[in-house]
Structures are given as structure tokens and as C-alpha cells.
């Protein structure tokens, strides 16, 4: 109820602040008997990890996950999986200058107002460090999806005004991790990387779009009315730090179309009902129709910049604030695995829910 759980049958409850002892969580609904491929899991964790490239935050964390329960001899037991990742590089001292200062467009002011208390040493609970728990739970979810041949591919499709102007079907999505910005088109990737580097040198940050494609989804996932598959995907994505928008299928572009242009014509292929076009984005009436699901997630430039800014403090005085040290000029490369993780959790949850009817 207090917003720290995600999912119903496959469910993550997370805990942890950026400058506390640890972040972690509990996953319920892990399929008993599932082989826990720890190498794969840690690789997913590393994709989110800070310090992995020159264009992300250099905070140095190993982010090694420790499973505390729900596992026996390398397999899931079906009981809740408690896990923890210790915060190594907390550097509490770095933030002492902002104890009473509300950093612009951060959550300092709103948390202080809501709770009357906060861990002022960093972003606390609003820090993206919390997403470690999501990536771990998403990695487990991906292992479950693998058995159903369901694939999730997120990638950076725009940074600032540098856009990847190709349809996802034209891209080799296995190449996403070949570069540090996680754009599967190497040429566009290079432009993005150069641009981010320039932004970093300007002590600034920049936003962008992550596109996500989900393949081999069975027909029938999604619960009508309030738990439509895309509504739950949207809810998941909008819960990621710095996200400002979500669109699936034809998205905002659909608002300028006619019904006769937009409707997806059905036809038969190999005895299966298929659609010729896929403006529906693989979801009709909130329920998957077997076509590729795809959606876009809009990220704002993150609020932490190294430039001096005007703001106010807790005493109501107008002051200047400057963050020193490290910052993350573009959050998108590290957000790619988070988008995938959230999507994976939504899918596993709906797969479980759907079993009720069969």
C-alpha cells in the first residue's frame, strides 16, 4: 500500500536507500524448481551498475547480489526469495552540504514535506539505487520467460534530438549491448555517445527515449478494464525514476490518424490469426494478440547536474546549490535493463494470472 511492492502473483517488495546499509527486497512467486543461473543474473545486475562506462556515473559499486532464502542447491524453492546488495561506496561526506537544501527537481522537498524526516545524505528512497532490486527481480522473471521463449529487448532510441529513425524490425536487437549507449545501430550509437560526452563536459544532463520490444507473447495476457496489459506496462515504466511519458503501439502518433488508416487488418497465417500491420502494438482491448508488443518510454534529463543552481533551503531562504563530484549525464544506458526488468515482471505476473482461467 505504501508503494514498495510491484506485481500481484509475481511480486517484488523492495527496500533501501542510497546511503543506507543496503538495498534489497523479497520476491514472491518464483516458480519452484527454477534453475537460478547466477551468471546471467549477475550480468543483468552489471548492466545497471554505475561506473560501467565513461558516459555514466562513476560511483563505484560491485552490486553483487546475495540471495538469503528461497533457494536450495541452485534452484528456487517457491518460497519468498529475500536478497540484499550492500552499499559499499556510500561516501556520506559528499552530501553534507545539501542537508537542508532542496535540490531543484529532486525529491528532497516533497519527501521532507510528506514524511517530516528524510535521509538527507543522498536521494534516499527516491534514488535510482533502489532499482537494483528491480533488475534482480527482473532477471529472475527473465529466466521464467525464457522457458516460454518470450524475449524482451529494450534499447536507447533517442538521446536529446539524436534519434534512431528505424523501425525495430530493421534492427539487429542482439547488438544493443555492443556499445555503451545501448543503441543497436552502431552509427547512431556513435553520435549519441559523442553527444553525451559533450553534455558531460558541460556539467549538464540530457534526456531521451527507450524503446522496448517483446516477442513471442502468447495470446490472452492482460486483464480487462483496469489491468489492461499496456496499462500495467505503463504503470511499471512510469514508476522508473525520471520517466515522463509512455506510449505503446502507434502511441501519440495515433492521435493524428483516421480509423481506416489505423485499424489492423486480420488475416490467417499458418492457421493463426495475424494482423497485417501492428499499430495495436500487440495488444487489443488490453489483451495480447500474439503480435510483437512495443512501446516507448520518455526520460527527462536527470536533475543532478554539476552547474550552480538557484533554490531554497529548509529555512525558506533562497540559496545556491552545486553538486560536486560525479554525475550521470545520461541515464538511458543504465535504464535499458531497468525497462526490461519491469516489463519482464509485468509479463510473468500476467502469465500467472492467466492460468486462473485454464
- Chain positions 306 to 335 lying near a copy of itself, rule: CB under 8 A, are 307, 309-312, 316-318
DSSP-derived letter for residue 35 is B
Nearest to a copy of itself of 128, 174 (CB atom): 128
From CA 244, how far away is CA 233, in angstroms rounded?
Answer: 14
- Choose one: 17-25, 40-48, 49-57, 136-144; the region binding a copy of itself (CB under 8 A): 17-25
From CA 130, how far away is CA 5, in angstroms rounded?
Answer: 12
Among 45, 152, 193, 298, binds a copy of itself (CB under 8 A): 298
- Residue 42 in contact with residue 135, Cβ under 8 Å? no
Nearest to a copy of itself of 162, 171 (CB atom): 162
Helix axes of 229-238 and 332-355: crossing angle, nearest 10 degrees: 150
Among 166, 194, 273, 322, binds a copy of itself (CB under 8 A): 273
Nearest to a copy of itself of 66, 172 (CB atom): 66
- Choose one: 45-53, 92-100, 146-154, 295-303; the region binding a copy of itself (CB under 8 A): 295-303
Helix axes of 38-48 and 131-146: crossing angle, nearest 10 degrees: 140
Q: Give me the least distance between CB of 191 and a copy of itself, in Å please.
A: 14
- Residue 314 in contact with residue 211, Cβ under 8 Å? no
Q: Which three cell numbers stand for residue 112?
A: 521532507
Nearest to a copy of itself of 92, 174 (CB atom): 92
Q: Give me the least distance between CB of 98 and a copy of itself, in Å please.
A: 13
CA distance readout (Å), 273 to 98, 177, 198, 270, 293: 58, 34, 49, 8, 16
Cα–Cα–Cα angle for 59, 112, 63, nearest 5°? 25
- Choose one: 56-64, 139-147, 180-188, 273-281; the region binding a copy of itself (CB under 8 A): 273-281
Name the phi and psi angles at 321, rounded to 5: -135, 140
Q: Which three cell numbers stand for residue 189?
A: 550509437
- Chain positions 120 to 179 lying near a copy of itself, rule: CB under 8 A, are 124-126, 130, 158, 160-161
From CA 57, how far away is CA 241, in angstroms rounded?
Answer: 15
CA distance readout (Å), 178 to 105, 138, 185, 326: 33, 21, 9, 25
Q: Give every CB contact of residue 261 below 8 A, 6+ residues apart in sequence.
A: none
Q: Give me the least distance between CB of 179 and a copy of itself, in Å please.
A: 19
- Choose one: 3-11, 56-64, 143-151, 166-174; the region binding a copy of itself (CB under 8 A): 3-11
- Chain positions 30 to 89 lying near a copy of itself, rule: CB under 8 A, are 31-33, 66-72, 75-82, 84
> 32: part of which helix (H) or strand (E)?
none
Residue with cell 495515433: 254
Q: Give me the least distance between CB of 318 and a copy of itself, in Å please.
A: 6
Q: Which three cell numbers stand for residue 218?
A: 502468447
Q: Give me the least distance between CB of 192 and a copy of itself, in Å please.
A: 12
Among 45, 50, 102, 337, binds a copy of itself (CB under 8 A): 102
Asked if 186 interacts with a copy of itself (CB under 8 A), we say: no
- Chain positions 192 to 251 lying near a copy of itself, rule: CB under 8 A, are 199, 202, 204-209, 219-220, 222-228, 230-232, 234-235, 238-239, 244-251
Nearest to a copy of itself of 99, 174 (CB atom): 99
Q: Give me the least distance between CB of 29 and a copy of itself, in Å please.
A: 5
Amino acid at each position: 500500500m505504501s508503494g514498495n511492492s510491484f506485481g500481484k502473483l509475481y511480486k517484488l517488495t523492495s527496500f533501501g536507500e542510497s546511503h543506507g546499509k543496503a538495498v534489497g527486497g523479497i520476491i514472491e512467486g518464483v516458480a519452484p524448481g527454477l534453475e537460478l543461473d547466477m551468471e546471467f543474473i549477475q550480468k543483468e545486475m552489471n548492466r545497471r551498475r554505475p561506473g560501467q562506462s565513461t558516459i555514466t556515473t562513476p560511483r563505484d559499486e560491485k552490486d553483487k547480489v546475495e540471495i538469503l532464502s528461497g533457494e536450495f542447491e541452485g534452484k528456487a524453492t517457491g518460497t519468498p526469495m529475500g536478497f540484499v546488495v550492500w552499499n559499499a561506496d556510500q561516501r556520506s561526506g559528499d552530501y553534507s552540504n545539501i542537508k537542508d537544501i532542496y535540490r531543484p527537481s529532486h525529491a528532497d522537498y516533497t519527501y521532507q514535506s510528506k514524511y517530516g524526516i528524510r535521509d538527507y545524505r543522498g536521494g534516499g528512497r527516491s534514488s535510482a539505487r533502489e532499482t537494483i532490486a528491480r533488475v534482480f527481480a527482473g532477471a529472475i522473471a527473465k529466466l521464467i520467460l525464457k522457458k516460454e521463449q518470450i524475449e524482451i529487448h529494450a534499447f536507447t532510441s533517442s538521446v536529446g534530438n539524436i534519434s534512431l529513425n528505424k523501425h525495430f524490425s530493421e534492427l539487429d536487437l542482439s547488438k544493443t549491448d555492443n556499445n555503451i549507449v545501448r543503441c543497436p545501430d552502431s552509427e547512431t550509437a556513435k553520435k549519441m555517445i559523442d553527444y553525451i560526452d559533450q553534455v558531460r563536459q558541460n556539467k549538464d544532463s540530457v534526456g531521451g527515449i527507450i524503446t522496448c520490444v517483446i516477442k513471442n507473447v502468447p495470446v490472452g495476457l492482460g486483464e480487462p478494464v483496469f489491468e489492461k496489459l499496456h496499462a500495467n506496462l505503463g504503470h511499471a515504466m512510469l514508476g522508473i525514476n525520471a520517466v515522463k511519458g509512455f506510449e505503446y503501439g502507434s502511441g501519440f502518433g495515433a492521435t493524428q490518424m483516421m480509423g481506416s488508416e489505423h485499424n489492423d487488418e486480420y488475416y490467417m497465417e499458418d492457421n493463426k490469426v495475424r494482423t497485417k500491420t501492428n499499430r495495436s502494438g500487440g495488444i487489443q482491448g488490453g489483451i495480447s494478440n500474439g503480435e510483437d508488443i512495443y512501446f516507448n518510454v520518455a526520460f527527462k534529463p536527470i536533475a543532478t547536474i554539476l552547474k550552480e543552481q538557484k533554490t531554497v533551503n529548509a529555512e525558506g531562504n533562497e540559496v545556491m546549490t552545486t553538486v560536486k563530484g560525479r554525475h550521470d549525464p545520461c541515464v538511458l544506458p543504465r535504464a535499458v535493463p531497468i525497462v526490461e526488468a519491469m516489463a519482464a515482471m509485468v509479463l510473468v505476473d500476467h502469465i500467472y494470472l492467466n492460468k486462473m482461467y485454464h
